[in-house]
Amino acid sequence: MFTGIITAQGEVSALVPMGEGQDMRLTVAVPEGWLEGAVLGASIACSGCCLTAVALEPAAFTVEASAETLAKTTLGGWQVGRRINLERPLRMGDELGGHVVSGHVDGLGEVLSATPENGSTRWRFRVPAAIARFIAPKGSVAIDGVSLTVNEVEGHEFGVNIIPHTTEVTGFATLRPGDAVNIEIDMLARYVARLREFNA
């Protein structure tokens, strides 16, 4: 489990196809010391996608992504040099500063716009209908692993505000209209919707 509070940015340093090229092995360079205490098999959220560390170095880790993960997330378009948001898993007793995030990406969203608004930036995104029904005003959503509060929802579109600090420490600094982002809906919304299906 994660909180959606990004603790570092990493850079994809190697991409190696596996098997017949359907799966991928990715190596990510990280700030010195960020992996302290990590062990093989540890979960690491990579721009919102929970992946398992299969190799560790002092300042890098390697993960393997299946064809399903590559097809359903932004990972399929990553190239060497890509900057990504990173978060280590939540430990018992840690501060839950964002919301409960599983690292299981529900689908892709599209950046529509980024507009300065007072001291922050208003971002708008479009998501598929299957995801849009779970997004509610003042609810939580994880975008590329970043925990955010939804401002407004209009059909398949929604908006959030990003403060300068969040822009500086996450990939929002390089996002542009038209870019794809990983979307994880609020876990509570998922289960409430499921319960309503059974009670309908």
Q: Hey, what domains does the chain have and what are their CATH numbers?
A: 8-87 (2.40.30.20), 107-199 (2.40.30.20)
Higher pLDDT, 197 or 1: 1
pLDDT band at 194 (very low <50, low <70, confident <90, very high): low
Contact of 47 with 57, CB cutoff 8 Å: no
pLDDT at 190: 72
pLDDT at 188: 77
pLDDT at 200: 60
How far is the C-alpha of 92 from the C-alpha of 64, rounded, in Å? 26
pLDDT at 29: 98
pLDDT band at 192 (very low <50, low <70, confident <90, very high): confident
Q: Is the pLDDT of residue 45 over 70?
A: yes
* 140-143: strand order across its sheet: 146-149, 140-143, 180-185, 107-117, 120-126, 157-162, 152-154
Span 51-58, average pLDDT: 97
